[in-house]
A and B are shown apart, each in its own frame.
Chain A
């Protein structure tokens, strides 16, 4: 984009428009939680996805509703990009009965089985093996479905990731390992967690095709996702994709964890540097430069997405809370 994207330039216009809308939709939805969190209206821990939108949107655009996705603690973007209902997600984060998990899960347990979002969970690396199993199910049934596991750089410290890569490679399972490298595992900069910073190299000893891409370039992510999906469907999985990206907010909540604040983690210049590489801003520049969308159309999209977010918040606020008498509903043993 602006010359820094080397991918296929013959994308259908509606696809490009949809990339923009979806990234914007996620960003506006995420940022709309800041106020309710600060006001004490939303209590459950929210790990905001702002800044990483291109990864979820690019990968999920390469999938169909029949393909499977598993998320992690920071999965608002994955859920929305896979086609989950925004109303149900916002209601879940407000812990309402109308939420996608009926107020039993909160921000970290988002699920939409109808569109292949089989769930998310905050045990770091805990859902990688679940995606492995979904890919195994696809292989046993020979139904051509692909499973995607989204995890962060922090998950590379967990042994189960390596167990999963080994088995996936051994059985050539249709699974795409998508590592969202945002350079921080909660408060720990990657340099304090790993000897090497090149995460994509960890898949190579298993014979897994692996690459590192600009995770803030939605077209690069889409191209990598499409290639990985094709390989997996042809029985030549798995594939590993490391997406370099950055979260604007801190690990949890709206705090930006900037140095000098009470969390005291990230240099201000680093955050500003990544703001320059903002996936939405860059893509909007590309769309106008290529005359795919006008500034007016971009503004209209923003207004439309804002309306959807406002509607979702209204829906959540007027939705009933779970009833205390139903504490043990969904308990079977």
Chain B
């Protein structure tokens, strides 16, 4: 039965690409290293052999032009997926992503949509230091005209990639190499996870923990530890960070009265600050304790493993935060 077929997170993305490319000849994949597992893991395996070099385009190291080319192809009616094997490399492509793609539809009075997927892979840890570790989802989410999705599970990775490709507007799809080996049942058929919809991945009544991407898994781990102490945490997986599923967050906080926001990005002006502000504006009366943010410190990623351990947040930090507001 297909419903029991297990797939890893990275192969779920791979299956989404295979299925959308087979179904729609206007979909193509372009980016640095699409034929190299060194760059993109096994997310692109089999695509080149199946769809050829016209639609699986490994590129020179020219992030700005290649990303712009994806945007231009989208304007000309294609549905490109442009991959950046590290989110860090996307800084070179901010002009086509932000100035051009995000603005095009609005600044041309809705004349021409831009159906492009900007796929950025978070590839951190392993003493890779500041320029091989960043996640820029908070920056992208601040820009009007970009949708931003961050799947935390294999099921969502496949469904959100399919939804992103089918979406008529630009979508930034950010995945995390730390999730690539995670396995769960994934349907074999083509399906979408709706952009803009979060998910309660674990119900609870005592504290709401809002998280996204890899930090959802850490939050689930924390919840499993806490339940042994009689503390029932509700874990909300945002799945999409722009537009936020505001009602889901608010409903959970209305129920629990307590909120911990966990984000794999930096603290200042980040996603955690946004969720926290939303709740203080629209569910202030429900709060029984101050909101707590668990984020990266405002510090570049270090190399040394000792410093890395101090830098990245884990289930231990989440447990401590939950207990601090009970």
Contact of A123 among B28, B54, B72, B100 (CB under 8 A): B100
Which residues of the partner chain A approach B64 to less than 8 Å between Cβ atoms?
Answer: 129, 159-160, 163
Q: Pick the residue among B78, B109, B112, B147 that contacts A333 (CB under 8 A).
A: B147
Q: Is A257 an interface residue (CB 8 A)?
A: no
Contacting residues, chain A, for B78 (C-beta < 8 A): 133, 137, 140-141
Q: Would you call A164 an interface residue if the criterion is a C-beta within 8 Å of the partner chain's C-beta atoms?
A: yes
B293 lies within 8 A of chain A by Cβ: no
B54 touches A140 (CB 8 A): yes
CA distance A329 to B95 in the complex (A): 23
With A118-B112, A137-B73 as known contacts, state yes or no: A333 contacts B146, CB within 8 Å: yes
Within 8 A of A (CB), among B262-276: none
- Known contacts A111-B108, A333-B169; decide if A140 and B68 are in contact (CB<8 Å): no
Residues from chain A with Cβ under 8 Å of B278 in the complex: none
User: Which residues of A lie under 8 Å from residue B69 when comparing CB positions?
Assistant: 129-130, 132-133, 136, 164, 167
Give the residue among B59, B106, B147 with the most A Cβ atoms within 10 A.
Answer: B106
Looking at the assembled complex, report how far the CB atom of A28 sits from the nearest CB atom of chain B, in whole angstroms.
25
CB contact list, A172-215 vs B, under 8 A: none
Interface residues of B in 66-91 (CB under 8 A from A): 66-78, 80
Closest residue of chain B to A135, judged by CB?
B72
Interface string of B32-55 (1 = CB under 8 A from A): 000000000000000000000011
**With A111-B112, A332-B169 as given contacts, are A133 and B72 in contact (CB-CB < 8 Å)?**
yes
> 1/0 per residue A60-71: CB within 8 Å of B?
000000001010
List chain A residues, Cβ under 8 A from B105.
Answer: 330, 332
Complex interface bits, B199-238 against A, C-beta within 8 A gives 1, otherwise 0: 0000000000000000000000000000000000000000
Q: How far is the CA of A5 from the CA of B161 in the complex (A)?
A: 56
* B contact residues around A68 at 8 Å (CB): 76
- With a cutoff of 8 Å between Cβ atoms, the chain A residues found around residue B110 in the complex are 102, 329-330
Cross-chain contact B144 with A170 (CB below 8 angstroms): no
B54 to chain A minimum Cβ distance, whole angstroms, is 5
Chain A proximity of B148: nearest CB distance (Å): 8
Min CB distance, B162 to chain A, in Å?
A: 18
Give chain B residues whose Cβ lies under 8 Å from the Cβ of A72. none
Asked if B65 is at the interface (CB within 8 A of a chain A CB), the reply is yes
Contact in complex: A119, B108 (CB < 8 Å): yes
Looking across the interface, which residue of chain A has its beta carbon closest to that of B61?
A163
The reply to whether B68 and A333 form a contact with Cβ atoms under 8 Å apart is no
Residues of B within 8 A of A129 (CB): 64-69, 71-72, 96
Q: A105-B108, A132-B69, A332-B145 are in contact. Are A118 and B62 (CB under 8 A)?
A: no
Q: Does B72 contact A132, Cβ atoms closer than 8 Å? A: yes
**Does B55 contact A130, Cβ atoms closer than 8 Å?**
no
B76 close to A163 (CB less than 8 A): no
A-contacting residues, B100-126, CB 8 Å:
100, 104-112
| Cβ–Cβ contact A102 & B72, under 8 A | no
A159 to B64: give the CA distance in the assembly, Å: 9
Q: Check: A157 CB closer than 8 A to any chain B CB.
A: no
A51: chain B residues within 8 A (beta carbon):
none
A331 touches which of B30, B99, B108, B144 (Cβ 8 Å)? B144
Would you give the shortest CB distance from B209 to chain A, in whole angstroms?
25
In angstroms, Cα B95 to Cα A105, docked, is 18
Residue of A103, A159, A333 near B144 (CB, 8 A) is A333
Question: Does B132 sit within 8 A of A, measured CB to CB?
Answer: no
- Rounded to whole Å, the gap between the CB of B52 and the closest CB of chain A is 10
Question: A104-B109, A121-B100, A332-B147 are known contacts. Are A137 and B76 too (CB-CB below 8 A)?
Answer: yes
A167 to B144, CA, bound (A): 30
Within 8 Å CB of B106, what residues of A? 104, 330-331
Task: Give the residues in chain B near A170, CB-CB below 8 Å.
Answer: 60
State which of A99, A100, A118, A159 has its C-beta within 8 Å of the C-beta of B75: A118
B residues in contact with A109, CB < 8 Å: 107-108
Q: Collect the chain A residues with CB atoms within 8 Å of residue B76's CB.
A: 68, 118, 133-134, 137-138, 145, 147
Task: Please report the C-alpha to C-alpha distance between residue A159 and residue B76 in the assembled complex, in whole angstroms.
Answer: 24
B100 touches which one: A101, A130, A138 (CB < 8 A)? A130
Q: Are A167 and B109 in contact (CB under 8 A)?
A: no
Closest to A108 in B: B107
B109 close to A160 (CB less than 8 A): no
Q: Does B242 contact A (CB under 8 A)?
A: yes
Give residues of chain A (106-138) contacting chain B, Cβ–Cβ below 8 Å.
109, 111, 113, 118-119, 121, 123, 126-138
The answer to whether A236 has its CB under 8 Å from any CB of chain B is no
Give Cα A329–Cα B108 distance, bound, in whole angstroms: 12
When C-beta atoms are compared, the residue in chain A nearest to B68 turns out to be: A129
Q: Which of B60, B100, B242 contacts A167 (CB 8 A)?
A: B60
CB distance from A154 to the nearest CB of B (A): 15
A105 in contact with B107 (CB, 8 Å): yes
Q: How far is the CB of A323 from chain B (nearest CB, A)?
A: 13
Q: Mark A62-92, 1 if CB is under 8 A from B, else 0.
A: 0000001010000000000000000000000
Query: A residues engaging B (CB < 8 A)?
Result: 68, 70, 99-105, 109, 111, 113, 118-119, 121, 123, 126-141, 145, 147, 159-160, 163-164, 166-167, 170, 329-333
Known pairs A129-B66, A140-B54, A331-B144 / 16 extra A-B pairs, C-beta < 8 Å: A104-B106, A104-B108, A119-B75, A119-B104, A123-B99, A126-B100, A129-B69, A131-B72, A132-B65, A132-B69, A140-B28, A160-B64, A160-B65, A163-B62, A167-B66, A330-B110
Chosen A-B contacts, 14 in total, with CB atoms closer than 8 Å, are A100-B108, A113-B112, A119-B104, A126-B95, A128-B65, A129-B96, A133-B68, A133-B80, A136-B57, A137-B76, A163-B65, A167-B66, A330-B110, A331-B106
